[in-house]
Structure 1
Amino acid sequence: LRALDERVGELDSEISAIAASEPSAVRLQQLRGVGPMIATALIAAIGDARQFANGRQLAASLGLTPKQHSSGGKDRLLGISKRGDAYLRTLMIHGARSALRTAKSKDDRLSQWA
């Protein structure tokens, strides 16, 4: 177990070094709930985000948009669609949970809204 813990620590430090050296990862880490793990995973999976017209298309490709069961002008939106990359979606959800948990101790507008 100690050897595995050491190996995990080494890999975490490698990921942190990569995230610190990549300019787009540094920008992503400025968002709440986004650390080196999420930033590098997003960059590795998405690459250049210019292929998406807007943020909703990116969210849909990750499976973070609501399922739609709409007909006859009635919009029925259910939970997230769970399509796309399950690993990235899991990381994003945990990052959001982290941001929500720490919002209680902050006084800015975003934290108050959350």
Structure 2
Amino acid sequence: MDKISVVGLDLAKNVFQVHAVNAQGRVVERKQLKRSEVLSWFAEIEPCRIGMRQTSGIYSTQQYKSAV
């Protein structure tokens, strides 16, 4: 397996989407992780850059709009 240089992590309530690429930008791994699997997955890879993204769901957007 290629060495992972950058990991993109899409944060959610229960299932996280992981997108890992090597130094050339080629996809090394794409997978879904349950909340309970995230720490063990990161413990298995070497240190790298991590970008995290949290998408606000429609429910929170509607709560915000109704509060404004």
Q: TM-score, normalised by structure 1?
A: 0.19
Which is richer in helix?
1
Rg: which structure is higher? 1
* Higher relative contact order (Cα pairs below 8 Å, separated by 6+ residues): 2
